[in-house]
Chains A and B, each alone.
Chain A
Amino acid sequence: MKTGKIPQQVVVLSLISLVVIVSFFTMRFILTPKSFGKYGHYRADAIDDVKNLPISYAGAKACGDCHDEIVKLKSKGFHRGVSCEVCHGPSAGHTEDPTSIKPEAPRQREGCPLCHNYSPSRPTGFPQIITAQHNPGKPCMTCHRPHNPVPPVTPKDCSACHRSISAQKMVSRHAPLECTTCHSVPKEHFKNPRFVRVEKPTTNEFCGKCHSSDAKAQANLPPIPRIDVEKHAGRYLCWDCHYPHSPEAK
């Protein structure tokens, strides 16, 4: 090697790296998908791939085009918010070919309990039954019309909807009391339970009607614990410490 000359190694390696780099960027240019980077760091065509997927659920509006009478009936009942395809299954095929593709039409007991079987996790007031006890074996349709499910008889018993509360009350000291002893129930509550609520006691004096030391004794009942309402509670409300549906619970 002579001084002033570029070393042989450098020449060779520069050539090789040039080839590598050029081929890398050429490959990169060739391989990058056409629509990549149009909107961002992704294939813009992928959006269309997703957009063009077929639909299975036609949507409630589509049903009304033909079944307007049923839709009209349903729009006034409790099931007004329940879309047709909840029970009838995905029906996009039916809207395209109404004669040969028919949607499901459940007639047995399988569908209704999914929503209406009793579960303590469901919101209070949501109509629930204990499927095993509620006319076992009978299809729900015999008594309830799914498109306008007015109960054949409005349940008189509060426990039809408020099962966990009534179950607790049943085994408590308050078992002999009617719900209406403490709650006044507006008629509208039976029709629209979530918007028209029952009234609840608001003052300690209400509990005091039975529990204050000067309350009138009721001969037919076991001895009632009595307290001086004002001194006992102070500025607390009775139900801050005692759960009225199960007063002995701590």
Chain B
Amino acid sequence: MSNDIKNNEETKTNKVLDRREFLDWCLKAVPAGLTMTACGFSAGELNADEGKKHPAVNESQAEANYAMAIDIAKCIGCGRCANACKKENKVPDGPHTVRTWVERYVIPREGETMVDSPNAGINGFPELPENTDILKSFFVPKLCNHCSNPPCVQVCPVGATFQTKDGVILVDEKYCVGCRYCVQACPYGARYIHPTKNVADKCTFCYHRITKGLLPACVEVCPTQARIFGDLKKISSPIHRFLRFHPIKALKPELNTRPKVFYANADQEVR
């Protein structure tokens, strides 16, 4: 593994535990093997030389780092992204199981900011009450932030949700036990429990599309190009240019999740 890759991958590989090595180590340490501390230590010890032992760990993976940027000034709140997501990913119908949704912010001259997202914005937004004294109003599309430091992956007890080498957070629906800890740990409300599969479900950046060279469905259908998708490592990628020329805000930066969904022209009320 070359140095720069290792740096880029450090968050992904460092906390990862290799099964075979874990087994080997545990068998050597049988007397202490059953205890929690043994498990805890094994992780630390393995990290140090994991890179050396598995030089080809990346061989079959594309070395990308996918990310999305959203220009709030361009979003017209048509909800086509949320609609396309439901269709592309066969997300269960209903307003409370969504992978992406559009929020409408209405900031009045005085008083509390109002936010709504009826049916994720798919059917449009109801008219504002008359005499709403608006200071400003705008739409904010939301989705899984595919954090570089994902709290959901940290808390998953079985390794059923994980970060791929190209920076996408996925859920293994055949392995998820449905404990819902990841739903609790997500600060962005991006996860839900699939009502029939009984496993956690979330945005995949349309992993099945991007690995075929297509755009995520929401980006594909956005009529105003408010959503920009690309590979952070490629200088030619549109997201690269976008990040260079816009002041960017990430959601809830104080939690150090290091999101990879970047917002341009976001108001401070956005959270």
Contacts and interface: CB of A to CB of B under 8 A. Distances in A.
Q: Do A and B bind each other?
A: yes
B23 A121 contact: no
B208 A51 contact: yes
Contact of B17 (A41, A50, A60): A41
B162 to A, nearest CB: 4
A21 B172 contact: no
Contacts of B75: 123
Interface string B1-42: 000000000001101111110110011001001100000000
Interface stretch (B77-85, B185-193, B240-248): B77-85
A41 B139 CA distance: 37
Interface string A29-63: 10011001101111100110111111111011000
B88 A46 contact: no
A151 B246 CA distance: 32
A122 interface: yes
B211 A51 contact: yes
Contacts of B20: 37
A85 B211 CA distance: 20
Interface stretch (B92-100, B163-171, B229-237, B251-259): B163-171
B138 A33 contact: no
B19 A51 contact: no
Contact of B12 (A40, A79, A121): A40
Contacts of A52: 208
Contacts of B77: 119, 121-122
A39 B57 contact: yes
Contacts of A85: 84, 220-221
Interface string B88-120: 110000000000000011100000000000000
A36 B159 contact: yes
Interface residues of A, number: 46
A52 B33 CA distance: 38
B223 A33 contact: no
Contact of B170 (A29, A50, A81, A119): A50
B184 interface: no
A56 B74 CA distance: 26
Interface residues of B, number: 66
Contacts of A119: 77, 125
Given A25-B23, A42-B159, A121-B77, A82 B223 contact: yes
Contacts of A244: none
Given A56-B88, A114-B79, A43 B174 contact: yes
B159 A43 contact: yes
Which of A36, A49, A57, A83 is most buried by chain B, counting CB atoms within 10 A of its CB?
A57
B137 A55 contact: no
Contact of A123 (B73, B164, B207, B209): B73
Contact of B221 (A29, A36, A42, A57): A57
B179 interface: no
A126 B76 contact: yes
A90 interface: yes
Interface in B127-182: 128, 134, 137-139, 159-165, 170, 172-175
Nearest to A86: B221
B204 to A, nearest CB: 6
B64 interface: no
Given A25-B26, A46-B175, A53-B208, A40 B221 contact: no
14 contacts: A25-B26, A39-B57, A40-B159, A42-B175, A43-B175, A46-B162, A53-B89, A55-B214, A57-B209, A86-B80, A90-B84, A115-B223, A120-B134, A121-B138
